[in-house]
Structure 1
Amino acid sequence: MSFALGVVLFALGIGVTIALHEAGHMVAARVCGMRVRRYFIGFGPTVWSTTRGHTEYGLKAIPLGGFCDIAGMTVNDPWTEEEEPHLMINKPAWKRVFVMMAGIIVNIVLGVLIIFGVAVSFGLPSTEDKPIPATATQLLCSPVKEGDGTENDPGCTGEGPAEASGVQVGDTFLTVDGRTVEGFSDVIDAVQAAGRTAGEDGVALGDTVTVPATVERGGTDVDLNLQVQVVERGGEATGAIGVQVELPPTEMVDYNPVAAVGGTADFTWNLGKQTVDALVHLPERYWPVVQSIFGAERQMDSPVSVVGASHAGGQLVEHEQWMSFLLLLANLNFFLAVFNLVPLPPLDGGHAIVVIYEKIRDRLRRLRGLAPGGPVDYVKLMPLTYVATAVLLVFGLTVIVADVVNPLQLFP
C-alpha cells in the first residue's frame, strides 16, 4: 500500500512540476504582452478543456509533458489580425528569451525551495568530499570481460587476484605500486593504471602483473606482492584485483531556518554539478538501458523516465525515506531545467538560441549597412528539429520500456 502511495505521490509531483514549468512560460508571456492561446498538460487526445479569456486550458491523455501555445512564437505560425499586436516574434529579443527561460527558472526555484524545506525539516547530507576507507570488506573474483547480466554471462569463479595475493578481509591499503593511499579511489587508480600499462605492453587479458603493496593488518604493516589481473572494461585494457569496500554512512547536517539558506545553496550547487555531469554522460548510458530490457542488471546510474522515477518514489516511501523522496523530486526539477537548456529545437534552449542568433546576425548586418534580417524561418530548421525530436522520442520510449520490464531497484 505504501509503495502505491509513493508512486501516486511522485507521479503527482511530476505533474505539478510540468504544470508549473509551463505556467512559467505562460505568466512570463502575459507579462511581456504576448497572447497565450493554449495551456495544456499532456499530449495526444484532449481529455478536458475550458476557455477563459483568450486562453484554452486543458488536460490531454498522455501525461508525459505539456505545452504553452503562444501566438506568433515563430514566423511560420498562422495568426489572426486581432493577435498581431501580441505576437511573440514582434517583441524585443530579451522578452522572447525571458519567456523561453521562464519554465527553466521555475524548475530551478522549485528545486531550491524543496531542498530548503528538506534542510529545515530533516537536515541535508553533507557535501564534504571525504575519501572512502580503503579497507577490504569482501574479496571477489574478477571477470576478464564485462558480462551482459544474462544467464549466458560467463562471469567468474574461484578466488580473485587480491585473495591470491594474500589480502585478507579487514586489511587497509596503505600503498599500492608506490602510491600513498588516502582512500579507496587511490587503490582503484593505481590498480587500473598498472593493468592499463600491462595491456599496452602486450600482457594478455586474464594474466596478472605484480605490483608492490602495503596493508595494515591488526596494527601491523604487511608488505604484499599484489597480483593485478589485466581485464577489459569499456573495450579497453585495465586492471582489477577483486576487492570490495563498505561505503561509510551518509553524514547528515542539521540546519535552522537561517543556516538552511547557506546549506541549501551549497547542496544545490553540488546537485547542479551532478545533474550537468549526468546529462553529459547520458548518451553513453543508453546502450546499458537497452541491455537491461533483455535481462541485464539495471545500473544505479541508469536514466529513468517519469515511469521509472515514480517507481523509485514508491520504493522510497515504502522504506519511509521521505527525505530522499523529496530530494529525488528536487533532482528531477534540476534535470528538467538543465535538459531544457540544451540548444536544440524543440527544447526551450533551442528556441532561445534562435533568438540569440537573430541578434548576432542583425548586428553583423548593421555593420555591413544592411537592414535586420527578420525572424528566422523555422521551416529551414525542420530537418534539425525532426532529428532532435526523433532522438528524444527513441531515447524516451526505450527508457520507458526498461522502466516497465526491468525497473531500477533502489533497495536489495
Structure 2
Amino acid sequence: MSILLFIAGVVIVLIGVAVSIALHEVGHLVPAKLFGVRTPQYMIGFGPTLWSTKKGETEYGLKAIPLGGYVSMIGMYPPAKQKGKVGATDLGAGALDADGAAPAPRPTSTGMFQQLADDARRASAEQLQPGDEHRMFYQLPVYKRIIIMLGGPLMNLIIATVLLAVLISGVGTYQNTVRISEVSQCVISSEEQQARASSGEDAVCRPADPEAPAYAAGLLPGDLITEYNGVAVAEWDWMKLTELIRQTAGEDVPVTYVRDGVEQTTTITPRLTERPALDAIGRPVTDAAGNVETVEVGFVGMGSQSQLMTLPLTEVPEKVGENVRAVADVVLDLPARMVAVGRAAFTDAPRDPNGPISVVGVGRIAGEVSAMEEIPLQDRASTLVGLIASLNVALFVFNLIPLLPLDGGHVAGALWEALRRGIAKIFKRKDPGPVDIAKMLPVTYAVAGLLLVMGAMLIFADIVKPIQLF
C-alpha cells in the first residue's frame, strides 16, 4: 500500500507540473493571438512530437521530453540591418519581408556569431506566409510584447495564488501562533549547550545562568500574546512577533497577553543573543557549506504553539509575497547554492534543505508525504497542493531572470529597445529600429547550456543525496 501511495504522490505532482507548464504557455498564447501575432505551434515538452492536432492556424501537441514547453510566434527576430537601415533581411527564397516585398540579398559574414544570427533569422523567415507582413512579433509596440512575455510567469503567479488561497483560507494550514507553547527558565548560548552535551551533562539551567526574559516577565505556556510594544499581533502573526522581539534587544517593552480569558500586561526586556538568521518565511539561513548563519538579535526564550487554522483571504497576498521573496533569495544566490549542491553530491557534506531542488527531488518528497499513512489524508493532500503552489512560485521568479531564452530576457530586450528609441526621439536622432535579439543567440545558447548542466546536477544530487525533510 505504501508503494502505491508513493507512486500516487509522484504522479499527482507530475500532473501538477505538466498543467502548470501548459498554463504558462497559455499565458503567452492568448495575448499573442489577441494582438494578432500568428502562432504556428503550441507545444508541451521538447523533442519528437508524440501527438498533435491543428485547430485554426495553430498546431497543439505533446512532445517526448516533458521538461518545458513553448509557443512559436512569427517574427521573433527582426530583419537584419544593412547600411544602418532596417529592411535588409536573410529571408529564405520565396518569403516576404516586413513590407511584403521581395527580400534583399542575405548579407555575407564570416563571423561565427553573425552566422548564428543569420541562420536564426532565416529559419524564422521560412515560417512566413502571405498575409504575415503585419503579424510579426517584433512589429508590435513594446508594451504588447512585454504583455505577451510576462503572460507566462503571471499565469504561474495566479496558479500559486489560487492554490495558496484554497489552502490558507479554505482547507487551513498549520501556523505558528502567538500562543506560547513553552517558556525557558534561562538563556544558554548554543556554544554552551554543545559544550555541556559533549561533556555528558544535561543542558539544564544552573544558578549562574541568566534568566530568560519571558520567564522573568512571568509569561506561561498557554498565554496568548495580543500586543507587543504597542503593536497588535494576530493569532497567526508569530513571524511578526519574532521580528519585533529581534528588533528590541535591551529595551523594556510592554506586552499584552490573554491568560484564562483575562487580558493582562507585563514588561519584557529581550536579551541580545546570537540566534539563527531567518529568511522571508522563517527558515534558518545557511551558507554555501550548509552551516546555519547566525546574527545577534533580541531573544526572550519562548516557543510557539502550532495550530491548524484558516486565515482571511486578505492574508493570501502576504503569504504569496513571502514565498516569492524566499525563492528570489535562492535565485540571487544560485551560483553559491549550486556549488553547495555539487559539494554535497560528491562529498559527505549535507544538502541544504532550503536550497534548489529538481523535479525528481520534488517528486520524491511528494511520494514520501503520500506514503505517510500515520498523517491524516487531508494534511497529505494539503502538502501536495502546497508543493505545486511552490513550484509555480519558482517558475514565476525564475522566468523573470533578464537573460535569454527566459521570458525576462525578452522583456529586457523590449525595454532596451524602448529606451533606445526614446533617447533617439528626445535628441531628434534617426530611429535605431527594433533590437536584434538574434545577435544575443550566443548568450542564449550559453544560458540554455548552463541551465541544462544545473538541471542535470540537481537531478543527480536528488538521487544520490536527496534533501531530508522527514
TM-score normalised by length of structure 1: 0.73
| Alpha-carbon distance change, 328 to 396 in structure 1, aligned in 2, over 3 angstroms | same
Sort the Cα spacing of 1:98 and 1:169 in 2 relative to 1 into closer, same or farther, 3 A: same
Q: 2:66 aligns with which of 63, 81, 106?
A: 63
Q: Tell me which residue corresponds to 1:253.
A: 309
Identity level (%)? 31
What is the Cα deviation at residue 118 of structure 1? 1.0
Q: Which residue is 1:220 aligned to?
A: none
8 Å contact kept, 2:176–2:305: no
Match runs of 1:181-220 below 5 Å: 186-188=273-275
Residue 2 of structure 1, CA deviation: 0.6
- Match for residue 114 of structure 1 among 142, 145, 163: 163
Unaligned regions of 5+ residues in structure 2, if any?
A: 79-120, 214-248, 251-267, 278-286, 296-300
* Contact 2:45–2:63 (8 Å) recurs in 1: yes
Letter in 1 for 2:49: T
The 3-state SS of whatever aligns with 2:435 is coil
Q: What residue number does 1:26 align with? A: 29
For 1:394 and 1:109, the matched residues in 2 are separated by 29
Tell me: CA distance 1:120–1:96, structure 2 relative to 1, closer, same or farther (3 Å). same
Stretches of structure 1 that go unaligned for 5 or more consecutive residues are 143-158, 191-231
> Partners in 2 of 1:72 and 1:233 — Cα distance?
43
CA contact (8 A) 1:123 1:252 kept: yes
Tell me the C-alpha RMSD between the 2 structures.
3.7
- Residue equivalent to 1:290: 342
- Equivalent residue number for residue 312 of structure 1: 365
Cα deviation for residue 343 of structure 1 reads 0.6
Q: 1:13 aligns with which of 9, 12, 16?
A: 16
Relative distance call for 1:399 and 1:101 in structure 2 (3 A) is: same
Secondary structure in 2 aligned to 1:47?
strand
| Secondary structure of residue in 2 paired with 1:187 | strand
Contact 1:28 1:99 survives alignment (8 Å) = yes
Contact 1:34/1:70 (8 A) holds in 2: yes
In structure 2, the residue matched to 1:227 is: none
2:403 is matched with which residue?
344
Question: In structure 1, how many angstroms separate the alpha carbons of the residues matched to 2:28 and 2:353?
Answer: 33
User: In 1, Cα distance between the equivalents of 2:69 and 2:319?
Assistant: 29
Q: Specify which of 129, 133, 137 is matched with residue 88 of structure 1.
A: 137
CA 1:54–1:409: 2 relative to 1, 3 Å? same
Give the Å deviation of 1:189: 6.8
SS of 2:40 mapped into structure 1: strand
Cα distance, 1:308 vs. partner?
A: 1.3
Q: Which residue of 371, 381, 384 corresponds with 2:440?
A: 381
- Give the Cα–Cα distance (whole angstroms) in 2 for the partners of residues 51 and 266 of structure 1: 42
CA offset digits 1:277-302 (Å, max 9, x no partner):
22222221112211332353322113
2:234 aligns with none
Partners of 1:252 and 1:26 lie apart in 2 by 40
- Aligned counterpart for 1:331 among listed residues 390, 407, 413: 390
Distance 1:263 1:187, change over 3 A: same
1:351–1:189 CA distance, 2 compared to 1 (3 A): closer
Moved more, 21-30 or 371-380: 371-380
Task: Please report how far the alpha carbon of residue 52 of structure 1 lies from its aligned counterpart in structure 2 after TM superposition.
Answer: 1.5
Alignment-derived partner of residue 262 in structure 1: 314
Alignment-derived partner of residue 256 in structure 2? none
Q: Distance in 2 between matches of 1:323 and 1:127?
A: 17
Instruction: Give 1:327 shift.
Output: 1.3
Which residue identity is paired with 2:40?
A: R
Distance 1:290 1:367 in 2: 50
Would the aligned equivalents of 1:127 and 1:270 in 2 still touch at CA under 8 Å?
A: no
**2-structure distance, mates of 1:133, 1:350:** 50
CA contact (8 A) 2:288 2:339 kept: no
Contact 2:176 2:306 in 1 (8 A): no
Q: Matched residues in 2 for 1:18 and 1:24: separation?
A: 10
Shift of 1:387: 2.3
8 Å Cα contact 1:71-1:88 kept in structure 2: yes
Q: 1:224-254 CA deviation, whole Å, 9 max, x = no partner?
A: xxxxxxxx99599x999xxxx9985534432
2:306 is paired with a residue of what secondary structure?
A: coil
Letter in 2 for 1:84: E
Equivalent residue for 1:208?
Answer: none
With over 3 angstroms needed to count, the CA separation of the structure-2 counterparts of 1:170 and 1:357, relative to structure 1, is same
Aligned length: 342
Aligned to 2:90: none
- Distance, in Å, in 1 between the alignment partners of 2:210 and 2:42 is 59
Q: Report the Cα offset of residue 45 of structure 1.
A: 1.5
Counterpart CA distance in 1 for 2:167 and 2:294 is 41
Question: Structure 1 pair 188/133, CA: closer, same or farther in 2 (3 Å)?
Answer: farther
Aligned mates of 1:283, 1:131 — CA distance in 2: 39
Distance 1:173 1:270, change over 3 A: farther
3-state SS of paired residue (1:188): strand
The answer as to whether partners of 1:42 and 1:63 remain within 8 angstroms in 2 is yes
The 3 A distance-change label for structure 1 pair 36 and 246 is farther
Given that residues 23 and 103 in structure 1 are in contact (C-alpha distance below 8 angstroms), is that contact kept between their aligned partners in structure 2?
yes
C-alpha distance in 2 between matches for 1:7 and 1:184: 46
Q: Structure 1 residues 80 and 359, CA, compared in 2 at 3 Å: closer, same or farther?
A: same
Distance, in Å, in 1 between the alignment partners of 2:75 and 2:210 is: 65
Q: Is the 8 A contact 1:141 1:160 kept in 2?
A: yes
CA gap 1:265/1:353 in 2 versus in 1, 3 angstroms:
same
CA contact (8 A) 1:132 1:248 kept: yes
Of structures 1 and 2, the larger Rg is shown by 2
